[in-house]
């Protein structure tokens, strides 16, 4: 979910600033910022699933 929110800023950037040379740099920067967010989100959900399984075994 975090990667979607981070990369959704790109269309807004295009609408406000236009399609210029900095758009490619902006997209690369947004992708670089979205990767750690996706890793943290995945790790948090994995930890949550493990804790829930420990409390309520099948």
Between 43 and 5, the more confident residue is: 43
From CA 36, how far away is CA 43, in angstroms rounded?
Answer: 11
- What pLDDT, on the 0 to 100 scale, is given for residue 47? 92
Residue with structure tokens 């930890």?
47
CB atoms within 10 A of CB 22: 12
What pLDDT is attached to residue 26? 81
The Cα 58–Cα 53 span in angstroms is 7
Task: Name the band, by pLDDT with cuts 50, 70 and 90, for residue 2.
Answer: low
8-41 confidence digits (pLDDT tens)? 787 888 888 777 788 888 888 888 888 888 888 8
């Amino acid at each position: 979910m975090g990667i979607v929110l981070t990369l959704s800023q790109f269309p807004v950037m295009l609408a406000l600033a236009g399609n210029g040379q900095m758009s490619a740099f902006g997209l690369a920067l947004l992708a670089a910022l979205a990767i750690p967010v996706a890793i943290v989100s995945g790790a948090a959900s994995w930890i949550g699933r493990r804790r829930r399984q420990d409390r309520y075994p099948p």
